[in-house]
Amino acid sequence: MRKICLITGASTGIGAATARLAAVEGYDLALTYRSEAAAMAKVAEACEAAGAQVLVCQADVAQPSDIEALYEAIDDRFGRLDALVNNAGIVDQAVKVTALTHDRLRRMFDVNVIGAMLVAKEAVIRMQRQGTGGSLVNISSAAARLGSANQYVDYAASKAAIDIFTKGLADEVALDNIRVNAVRPGLIETDIHAKGGEPGRAQRLAPMVPMQRTGSATEVARAVLYLLSDAASYVTGTTLDVTGGR
Ligand code: NDP
């Protein structure tokens, strides 16, 4: 039987690469996007071509009603959930802490922290009800331990919150056979850098990486698929750096 996996923010970047790989590895998929409907359709098509059943939902994770509607759609279509990749996330323009505004901080934490926590909560409720265990992977960032001074300390702090949420939730649901882990990507070639105002950011910083290169979304996706899988059956509450050594 194919397992059901929800991937948030699957229209582009790491989420899209994870969806494509998960389809090949035998998951049926619930995929979400916020604004990139055309890109989402292409990813869904590729996943179906790889043999997956695919449910696509538009959902802003900063809107609790969208999360509710998303899970109603998953319940209707699949009636169960085995895996979650909690990937949807944002950065913002590079500024110093002295330039941070209340509006920016609210948005950053609404999407990256509160949204991710509510999405995880609903997944755990279903997995506990099913009684068959499950696996969650939260997408954190190397920023969670680097701090991102002079760029986006708010983003780094939101991802640090995800790291400790991962540990706390993992401990809480360990006896339900639900594993919760995080992946911390480093400098990965996706559109997120352009959205933060600097398309060439990953390339510019690549010399700071011990491996002297950026990573690809697929390299992150492979780590996510490992943590989701039974190959990681004794791995929970941990964070896996996919950073080229940075
Ligand atoms: P992308 O910008 O390519 O992808 C982000 C995804 O999240 C898109 O599918 C986007 O949807 C979705 N999204 C954004 N805001 C919301 C929202 N409010 N509600 C629901 N979905 C939303 O970036 P990446 O693939 O790089 O980022 C994926 C994750 O990886 C993020 O959590 C990011 O913080 C993390 N990460 C990335 C790194 C990198 O170097 N690329 C490094 C470390 C961590 P849509 O486009 O449809 O609006």
CB 30 within 8 A of CB 3: no
33, 155, 226, 234: the active-site residue: 155
Residue nearest to atom 19 of ligand 1 (CA): 60
**Predicted pLDDT of residue 85:** 99
Residue nearest to atom 9 of ligand 1 (CA): 9
Look up the domain containing 88 and give its range. Answer: 3-242
Instruction: Determine the Cα–Cα distance for residues 70 and 138; give it in Å rounded to an integer.
Output: 18
**Predicted pLDDT of residue 103:** 98
Name residues whose C-beta falls within 8 Å of residue 197's C-beta, 6 or more positions apart in sequence.
93, 94
**Predicted pLDDT of residue 73:** 98
**Predicted pLDDT of residue 110:** 98
As for how many domains the chain has, the answer is: 1
Ligand 1 near 188 CB (within 6 A): yes
Instruction: Determine the Cα–Cα distance for residues 161 and 138; give it in Å rounded to an integer.
Output: 11
**Predicted pLDDT of residue 197:** 92
pLDDT single digits (tens) 198-232: 999 999 999 999 999 999 999 999 999 999 999 99
| Mutation choice for ligand 1 from 60, 65, 163, 190, CB with most ligand atoms inside 8 A | 190
Helix (H, G, I), strand (E, B) or coil at 165: helix
Distance 175 CA to ligand 1 centre (A): 31
Distance 196 CA to ligand 1 centre (A): 11
DSSP H stretches of helix in the chain: 13-24, 37-49, 64-77, 102-109, 116-130, 143-146, 153-173, 192-195, 201-205, 217-228
pLDDT single digits (tens) 4-23: 999 999 999 999 999 999 99
* Token pair of 202 as six digits: 């990953």
Ligand 1 near 154 CB (within 6 A): no
Q: How confident is the model at residue 91 (pLDDT cuts 50, 70, 90)?
A: very high
Sheet of 134-139: strand order equals 54-58, 28-33, 4-7, 83-86, 134-139, 178-185, 239-242
Distance 153 CA to ligand 1 centre (A): 17
Region 157-176 average pLDDT: 99
**Predicted pLDDT of residue 139:** 99
Q: How confident is the model at residue 195 (pLDDT cuts 50, 70, 90)?
A: very high
Distance 44 CA to ligand 1 centre (A): 17
Ligand 1 near 141 CB (within 6 A): yes
**Predicted pLDDT of residue 166:** 99
Q: How confident is the model at residue 112 (pLDDT cuts 50, 70, 90)?
A: very high
| Mutation choice for ligand 1 from 12, 109, 154, 162, CB with most ligand atoms inside 8 A | 12
Q: Is 234 a catalytic residue?
A: no
CATH of the domain at 223: 3.40.50.720
Phi, psi of 97 (to 5 degrees): -60, -35
